[in-house]
Structure 1
């Protein structure tokens, strides 16, 4: 009998526990960082709705707003590190599977891998801005205008063979993603990801209100951005593609006027609060 087996087993379990704690900490830091960005974007959109907006309602504007606050540089670095944690958490899900009965399925792992790539880019952009906050108008090195980025990317893709189809397909996927996000919010699908035993009645109400309202608003923004991409492909005009800021401003141009933008902006603020709630009560 190998007398070292129990020792090795104990060390392996301790290592797994430590890795689990690290992954959980990274996930909660990342969710909190995401909440900060959505909260700031929603507040900037509210300012635009009331004619007081000085910055774009997108990630670049949110970072610039944060940089102007006391200890802004520290907050920016903390935000970037939190988003690195989000990317690492999604990477661990892609490699080892997520929580839940179907967390190890290929579909779930591919979705986690895609989120890892996305949050890696976002984390890089935030850290680049933190390193050079004065490197661009309202955006710095890593937080440039989402509208300009969308137009530039669309223009480059339209120039390649079958680019028109590629832009149209991407837009359609974004529309579908927006609809799915909104429907899942209305169905309260996020309940499956929570720790029900730790939720008090007021906490459950908070999660429901912010999860439904925030999810529907987020889905609406996604769907609208996708529609603009499809239009850009159909008309072969990259300037019709819109980033987050222009997409939000387009809501003020509807028959409902700025009040639709107010509702969407409040929804994004709610999603920011919902992200904070997930950072506290989500199973990871």
Structure 2
């Protein structure tokens, strides 16, 4: 009887994790992520053509704050990202949708994503209440790197983190190019034109996002090798380095456009993803 009761409670918990409110939280979170990437990509485009904006989360939030109903929009983004974190937590605890959703690797990945989005949500909500929760990503990256380098074995820790970020970036780009996101979409419900559009957004945006993480991870590895936290770069400085290549600002234009496309892809996921 005890075992039966436990089994029933677990099933009830799984149903709650996949309920309409949780699905709404997931879709709101995907839309909030899309809004941030759209704004960051747009700011990076301005930088490519001579602007002085800050192309990172802090810059995106300040851009929102200057718009009509900006405070409301910032709260909406922060709450959406908190919903994203809660959704990922439910996947870590109860398993994700799909046949592989209950595998330990998938649940561990959902747990890591939960922490990632929880930190971002906290930063955005701190900004919403007037605290310094979204300053320069470059300064934050250098401060965190300096603290890590000061720890015993700090160089190995920073190098390992950089390799993990770079590896994740490569994986993100490869999976996007192979259209691995198809398994998460309700493709049978999508019109043919929507499927084609989502593929353009998903491949182009995913490859650009992956390239960004791969380069950012490389800078962390360089910081560990040189024992110099100033070598670590946040989102803004990482994007600016694309304009310092032989291709000039056009590589930054391509990256910025890719981030805008990933933002649009996130909106498409908010509509068509299985959650």
TM-score over 0.5 (shorter chain) = yes
Tell me how far 1:22 sits from its aligned partner. Answer: 1.1
Alignment of 1:137-156 (within 5 A): 141-156=132-147
| 2:181 paired with 1:190 | yes
Distance 1:173 1:80 in 2: 26
Per the normalisation by structure 1, the TM-score is 0.91
How many aligned positions are there? Answer: 266
Aligned to 2:42: 43
- Which residues of 2 match residues 61-76 of structure 1 at below 5 A? 61-76=59-74
For the structure 1 residues 16 and 99, does the alpha-carbon distance in structure 2 shift closer, same or farther, using more than 3 Å as the test? closer
Aligned match for 1:229, one of 197, 213, 220: 220
Aligned-residue offset at 1:18: 8.9
Deviations 1:251-284 (A, max 9, x none): 0000000000000000000000000000000000
Offset from partner CA, 1:210-234 (integer Å, 9 cap, x none):
0000000000000000110111100
Q: Secondary structure at the match of 1:142?
A: coil
Secondary structure in structure 1 of the residue aligned to 2:215: helix
The 5-angstrom pairing of residues 183-222 of structure 1 reads 183-222=174-213
Q: 1:4 maps to what in 2?
A: none
1:273 aligned residue: 264
* Partner residue, 1:114: 112
- SS of the counterpart of 1:113? helix
Q: Give the corresponding residue for 1:90.
A: 88
| Counterparts of 1:243 and 1:116, CA distance in 2 | 21
Tell me by how many angstroms 1:198 deviates: 1.2
Query: Any idea what the Cα deviations from partners look like across 1:34-69, whole Å, max 9, x if unmatched?
Result: 00000000000000000023x210000000000000
Separation of aligned partners in 1, 2:134 and 2:68? 20
Question: Are the counterparts in 1 of residues 142 and 229 from structure 2 also a CA contact under 8 Å?
Answer: yes
Counterpart CA distance in 1 for 2:254 and 2:108 is 33
C-alpha distance in structure 2 between counterparts of 1:128 and 1:278, whole Å: 27
Question: Aligned equivalents of 1:260 and 1:37: distance in 2?
Answer: 21
Per the alignment, residue 4 of structure 2 pairs with: none
Secondary structure, in 3 states, of the residue corresponding to 1:252?
helix
4+ aligned runs moved over 3 Å, structure 1: 15-19
CA contact (8 A) 2:16 2:22 kept: no
User: Which runs of no fewer than 5 residues in structure 1 stay unpaired?
Assistant: 1-8, 136-140
Instruction: Tell me what 1:78 maps to.
Output: 76
Cα distance in structure 1, aligned partners of 2:86 and 2:217: 28
Pair 1:17–1:109, CA change in 2 (3 A):
closer
User: Which structure has the larger Rg over C-alpha atoms?
Assistant: 1
Q: Could you say if the C-alpha distance between residues 197 and 168 of structure 1 is closer, same or farther in structure 2, counting changes exceeding 3 Å?
A: same
Change (3 A) 1:18 1:42: closer
Where in structure 2 are the equivalents of 1:241-280 lying within 5 Å? 241-280=232-271
SS in 1 for 2:134: coil
Shift, 1:16, TM fit: 3.4
The answer on whether the counterparts of 2:17 and 2:94 sit within 8 Å (CA) in structure 1 is no
TM-score under structure 2 length normalisation:
0.94
CA distance in 2, matches of 1:231, 1:242: 10
Deviations 1:171-228 (A, max 9, x none): 1111111100000010000001000111111101111000000000000000000110
Displacement after TM superposition at 1:75 (Å): 0.6
The residue that corresponds to 2:3 in the other structure is: none
